[in-house]
Structure 1
């Protein structure tokens, strides 16, 4: 109720600031590079990455510096990896579900997801968002039968340099609510783990975000990839 009331009260500011952010924020393209292939030597491992612009690697120029490249770099000396990246800038959870539905049924050992920021910018309440998340992971389990799903938590948008207050504050409240519901959901799933997007830790490590103040940098993708790889090694 607090979030709903806050949203209603702040609507005039949200419209003004939202339009200003859209106009003034640097728009970065998705990075170049292979989104499907094989790499590495060792035990066979298949990986699918699904999601939004962060999953796609926006913030860097080449996929080798994005989440996909960071994960592959961490694992390629231990595993022979077949990989597919299906992610697009602007995608909400509903659109990621459509992407999953459009793909042919096939097995992946690991599915990595990153989605939520665009649901926040559309002011999707956390209780509605988690219902969509449940639909997404039901589709993933049915279509791809993964042994491990690694979900990225929603980033604390109140800390995004590109966002002014009160817009940043409100988006941060949405992110907090979404992560709370996601954490509870993941704990009940036998094949799921999640990674929190810890901007405070990144700042203590002197890691800056990308030039647009909205997406991960090469250094943050590298750390994110290391966290993902650690969870994969524990499982396989």
Structure 2
């Protein structure tokens, strides 16, 4: 069971150079991702007079986030594993691939990267709003919660299959693009309903800068629940005990 491999670690990890470098890589990757993803939405609103909620705006959001995440995962993969998402880090923790202390370090770096990206966007655009994630009219918090759980399950399952599984072989080469593609596809599926976050940090930055917290809990509970389910399912059914090994951070 994955739960038997959960590792707490110790506080000394917070001072280790490789852990600090990994956290810095997560901060930079998240900054790149949020600046491009959130920035594309702001640019589209400016060009179309707040038309990001249109079908064309949804496609633009899907493409920009898919491309940006592909890059963000790629540039961080050899240093931190390229999580670029607190939910992905949580999924790796549940599967025993990262300690709790290192996870906390990643979470702090990821949240800071998102906030800094949104602050930079607000400054660079002359004060334009960094829109927080919100539910569409007619969508209840429970509906959005299901969306976030299912979409994040798909994302973290993809991460496990292409990046974590010891049997992945050459499939690991396409992990960043596969991860970017599933996020882009999920935005097309859920973007019109709750914004399709799948990433607590991506939701956190705009919420802090715009100070908008309505239903914000959905964008934490849903992704963490979906990530945990994906990790447990993949570990139990597809990573047998005799093939499991603790993966070094540079591998994931």
More strand by share: 1
Confirm or deny a common fold (TM above 0.5).
no
TM-score w.r.t. the length of structure 2 is: 0.27
More helix by share: 2
